[in-house]
Chain A
Amino acid sequence: MLLLTCPYCGVSAEETEFHPGGEAHLTREGPGTKNDAFEAYLFYRKNPRGVHFERWRHVYGCGKWFHVARCTQTLEVFGSYSAQVSEPPEEILTKIKDRRPDWSDAP
């Protein structure tokens, strides 16, 4: 059971206090978009073995959604940050690169 920290209320708590919300930083495809783009938005996920950006909600706490950068292989958590950004903040990327010099977030 993971230990996660909510960046809003600052609480570090058991995974059971949170609710997972899948991959972070998806771009919503609205009316009029191409079929391929819409299909990818609805169904395609990276599911990497390694560094991953995820959405979580502090559902039994402050109720806020936030993002977590963690490693799906070693379970290391690099950091949590606001859900109201469209890409990981520089500070988080630096933390990841400190521990995973070879990692690249290129798609």
Chain B
Amino acid sequence: MSIRLSTGGRLIDRTQTLSFTFNGVRYQGYQGDTLASALLANGQTLLGRSFKYHRPRGVVTSGAEEPNALMNLGTGARFEPNQRATTTRLFAGLEARSQNHWPSLKYDVGALNSALSPLFSAGFYYKTFIHPRPFWKHIFEPVIRQSAGLGAAPTQGDPDTYEHYYATVDVLVVGGGVAGLAAAREAVAAGARVLVLEQGEAWGGRALVDGGDIDGHAPDLWAAQTVAELAQEGAQMRLRTMAAGVYDHGYVLAYERIADHTPGDGRPRHRLWRIRAGQVVTATGAIERPLSFAGNDTPGVMLASAVRDYLSLYGVACGERTVVVTNNDDGYRTALALVEAGCEVPAVLDARPDHDSDLVQQARAAGLRLLFDTGVKKVEGGAHIQRVIAAPMSGNGPSETIACDCLAMSGGWSPVVHLWSHCGGKLLWDDARAMFKPDLTRPPLGAQGQGFVVPGGAASGALLAHEALEDGANAGRDAVRALGLSPASTPLAQVNAQTDETPLRPVWIMPNGADYALRSKAFLDFQNDVKVSDVQLAAQEGFESVEHTKRYTTLGMATDQGKLSNINGLAILADALGKPIPQVGTTTFRPPYTPISMGAIAGEARDELFKPTRKTPMDAWHDDNGAQWEPVSDWRRPYTYTRSGESMDQAVTREILNTRQNVGLLDASTLGKILVKGPDAGAFLDLIYTNMMSTLRPGRCRYGLMCTENGFLFDDGVVVRLNEDTYLCHTTSGGSDRVHAWMEEWLQTEWWDMKVYVANVTEQYARVAVVGPQARTVLERLGGMDVSREALPFMAFSDGTLGNIPARVHRISFSGELSYEIAIPASQGLAFWQACLRAGEDLGIQPYGTEALHVMRAEKGFIMIGDETDGTVIPQDLGLSWAISKKKDDFIGKRAMERSHLASPDRQQLVGLLTENPKTVLPDGAHAVEGGKLPGDAPRPIGFVTSTYFSPTLGRSIAMALVERGSRRMGETLAFNTAKDVWVRAKIVDPVFFDKEGARQNV
């Protein structure tokens, strides 16, 4: 039974009691507790159920590497699953629930899986759920979906705010232990700008527990003093900030948990630091490894360092009788600390032969019973450990049963090399210490080819406090030198906790020669329930690569990313393959080091800030007048303007008929406008467009097409020539940025000798189309310039004023009606729009939206980029051969059109379609199918619908389609498949459905 001792606990404040709940039951903890330490203080050792077998699990560690103690935290909108109790700071009112069990933590139906575990060996998904086929949909999938996953997903929107923060520093120190602080001191002393990040709640790292005295002070005091000095010298110091990943050229992401322990206090909950560092010192410490023996996942079996941490930092004894099992000297520290705190330690099991290091001598002096060459054969107890079966490491010989309620295990330490490895730092296997550590000769490289990460302290393999401090200081000096600064000579702090240690004995399975029954209860990955036997089975089945074995067994693929399991697992794999460990290698380390919130990644980029909407100068008027919005690239445009009691379809019909009969008004401000200017502007546009632009006369407009080098049509629009050396190119609404960039690219990278400038002036102008038989009357009433047929013929433009507003008036038409498109300065767009409405009021003027625009252009057979084109369509397919110059030597796409496939007469071509039933509107994209009537004649699609509407003008449906050899199929009837076994018959006709002669627009 774990309990709070009456004294001790460096990090807790016993004068401040905090009340919290776990599974609905109220408990008390202290200020400074983690959720895990507070639960242990209350005797709660059963904290969850495992993922696959639903085995009872308790807390194993005291830090970020925790695999088991995952909690659902909070309620309602602040509910969050899979939070590690070991890194969750306790606060008053915290609500935690355990995960992965039903109906309760104590009684769990899923635990049946454990009894069936032989069925759930490595790769069982792949082997089991294959036959019979119908089982998959009706049995396997629903059951797996019900039982898969750990925590529950939140159901409400996140009420908290998050932010990004940018920092540029000379030296980033990751880790606030003695090594990190020593490195920071060196960097600050040399005059570097320094940022120090510590993921935990306190400075000092492991030294708080194992550091003895530093410079004559308790380690927490030394750390506090050093931190204060560093801050004084200008270093930025951040607690609760985890460096999540190291990226190219010194880019680092870090995750600061600002308000997790003060929910709803108005501060951003998390902050994502986006750091550019000259040098990164990774003083990230080391993680203790578990030992692999049967029942090593039973609640009460913990890392020896964690047992020591809870005792020393939180005044919590994880058991009343604690057995220690170790393969190295470090385990003795736990035994000694427990004895000193008055806890019972019935035995220390040391896998090594009898030896006499400093710590062993101290243990003997403390009267501890030491069993050498001995390991744990098995742990017994269900929801909590009750006894340990100790046995000789050889696997032979008498075993001994030792009653206990806690087992502290130490399998040696693994440096935290994640950040070193993220961007390409390589590792070395240190055989003497059985650990991977950074290969200092092969660091990740920066822009100049220099190494930019320096590991320091335990992260570099310097495990003991005094070693770590010295190594950290050296790392700081190395970083400073790499930046071209000179290290100052600062005296090294002195640690009084030096010991001579006996090397560890690598132990990957305990005891040697453990039989299958034992190996199949010896867990490597606690969170994903991967056992020693699973990895051995994978090796036996031919999974030789560690990356394959990982995926086959799911070793290291849980939310803890294998922080405890990877080294043990690959050692087992290496043994099974008969290869040395370095030859098997590690899996790839990938960011983030521990999970970070989606909120932090998004930062402020959510809701309306996620992607700002582009709005025209008349946007507010539309919004006030019934606009139903439609997104058009980054813009929003009115799809239609509904009146009270009117459906969208009715509104569109009204707008079309009114425009064709009276006069309509369209906000066309989104139209792209690119100014092209210079002595070579005409020659340049001749290369950009398929047709000739250099022959266009000033004052005239010409429709033009743009193709890619592949010959495919990608944008279209009207080009106007303002004067001898200036053109204005209109593009599609969505295409203006793309076309502008396209022109810049060709000008800068291919035809850089041409004297041409281009500028995107899209937002400088508002644009209003006045369309319909009464359009001219409206403009004449505004007054200021001659807009008559003679002065301003079709495809001409003129500059002047209308109603005292500067205007460029174009006689172009996308509807087939008499139409003026008027460009005015953006600032006067709304005024001009309202002036038109007033001038046309008695003529029945009404605004129309994009849907009416689309229907009217389809009635005229005009193509729309993105409807009639899809990136594989060439102008010839659309009957636009007239717009492809035969006189020009070159234009973009010309060479491609020489290819046989693009010149083929069998290509799909644009046609019009009239359904046999005029009321039937074909669905967009419906396919026409040919063949299939005779045996051996497979049906195949020969074309598809590209635009389809009900035309109010014609009182019937119309459609356009791309059909194989379409231009030679006029009058043919095709069947379009619209649903399973439903066919709609339609006749192929000319795509111009209305006023083919253009009589209406040429008035």
Contacts and interface: CB of A to CB of B under 8 A. Distances in A.
Contacts of B249: 1-3, 75
Interface string B440-483: 00000111110000000000000000000000000000000000
B101 interface: no
Interface string A47-86: 0000000010101000111000000001111000001100
Interface in B226-283: 247-251, 276
Contact of B447 (A28, A75, A83, A99): A75
A14 B890 contact: no
Contacts of A55: 749
Interface in A14-62: 14-15, 21, 28-33, 35, 38, 41-42, 55, 57, 59
B745 interface: yes
Interface string A84-95: 100000000000
A32 B666 CA distance: 45
Contact of A76 (B448, B709, B895, B899): B448
A35 B896 CA distance: 9
A38 B710 CA distance: 10
Contacts of A65: 744-745, 748-749
A31 B894 contact: yes
Interface string B896-915: 10110000000000000000
Nearest to A85: B752
Given A30-B890, A84-B752, A21 B745 contact: yes
Q: How large is the interface on A (under 10, 10 to 19, 20 to 34, 35 or more residues)?
A: 20 to 34
A1 B748 contact: no
Nearest to B687: A30
B889 interface: yes
Given A2-B248, A2-B249, A57-B745, A31 B889 contact: yes
B741 to A, nearest CB: 8
B608 interface: no
B607 interface: no
A38 B895 contact: yes
Contacts of A29: 895
Interface string B579-613: 00000000000000000000000000000000000
B276 A14 contact: yes
Contacts of A83: 748-749, 752
B667 to A, nearest CB: 29
Contacts of A1: 247-249, 251
Contact of B449 (A3, A15, A74): A74
B750 interface: yes
B447 A3 contact: yes
Interface string B721-746: 00000000000000000000100110
Given A2-B248, A65-B748, A84-B748, A31 B895 contact: yes
Contacts of A21: 745, 749
Contacts of A99: 449
Contacts of B709: 41-42
B699 to A, nearest CB: 31
A89 B744 CA distance: 23
Q: Which of B248, B446, B449, B749 has the most CB of A within 10 A?
A: B749
A64 B889 contact: no
Nearest to B251: A1
A57 B740 CA distance: 13
Contacts of A57: 741, 744-745
A28 to B, nearest CB: 6
A9 to B, nearest CB: 14
A41 to B, nearest CB: 8
A32 B894 CA distance: 9
Contacts of A59: 741
A23 to B, nearest CB: 12
B749 A77 contact: no
Given A2-B447, A77-B447, A84-B752, A31 B890 contact: yes
A78 B985 CA distance: 64
Contacts of B899: 35, 38
Nearest to A76: B449
Contacts of A63: 744
Contacts of B250: 3
Contact of A75 (B248, B710, B748): B248
Q: Which of B251, B447, B896 has the most CB of A within 10 A?
A: B447
Interface in B723-780: 741, 744-745, 748-750, 752
B742 to A, nearest CB: 12
Nearest to A70: B447
Contacts of A75: 248-249, 424, 445-447
A8 to B, nearest CB: 10
B834 to A, nearest CB: 37
Given A28-B750, A31-B898, A65-B745, A76 B251 contact: no
Nearest to A8: B748
A33 B895 contact: yes
B894 A30 contact: yes
Nearest to B893: A31
Q: Which of A29, A30, A83 has the most CB of B within 10 A?
A: A30
B890 A15 contact: no
Contacts of A77: 447-448
B248 A15 contact: yes
A64 B748 contact: yes
Contacts of B890: 30-31
Contacts of A74: 424, 445, 449
B744 A76 contact: no
Contacts of B889: 31
B453 to A, nearest CB: 13
B634 to A, nearest CB: 16
Nearest to B889: A31
A55 B449 CA distance: 20
Interface in B325-359: none
B157 to A, nearest CB: 28
A94 B709 CA distance: 34
B756 to A, nearest CB: 14
A18 B895 CA distance: 30
Nearest to A28: B750
Contacts of B247: 1
Contact of A42 (B449, B710, B745): B710
A76 B748 contact: no
A34 B445 CA distance: 43
Contacts of A64: 748
Nearest to A12: B447
B445 A84 contact: no
Contacts of B248: 1-3, 15, 75
A35 B902 CA distance: 13
Nearest to A24: B749
B971 to A, nearest CB: 37
B276 A84 contact: no
B810 to A, nearest CB: 29
A32 B897 CA distance: 11
A14 B248 CA distance: 10
A84 B749 contact: yes
A88 to B, nearest CB: 15
B117 to A, nearest CB: 45
A2 to B, nearest CB: 5
A49 B780 CA distance: 68
Nearest to B444: A75
Contacts of B424: 74-75
A92 B590 CA distance: 33
18 contacts: A1-B249, A3-B447, A14-B251, A14-B276, A21-B749, A30-B894, A42-B709, A57-B745, A63-B744, A64-B748, A65-B745, A75-B249, A75-B447, A76-B446, A83-B748, A84-B748, A84-B749, A84-B752
Given A30-B890, A32-B898, A65-B748, 6 more contacts: A3-B249, A3-B250, A31-B890, A31-B895, A42-B709, A65-B744
Interface of B: 247-251, 276, 424, 445-449, 709-710, 741, 744-745, 748-750, 752, 889-890, 894-896, 898-899
User: What 4 pairs across the A-B complex have the smallest Cβ distances?
Assistant: A76-B449, A3-B249, A65-B748, A84-B752
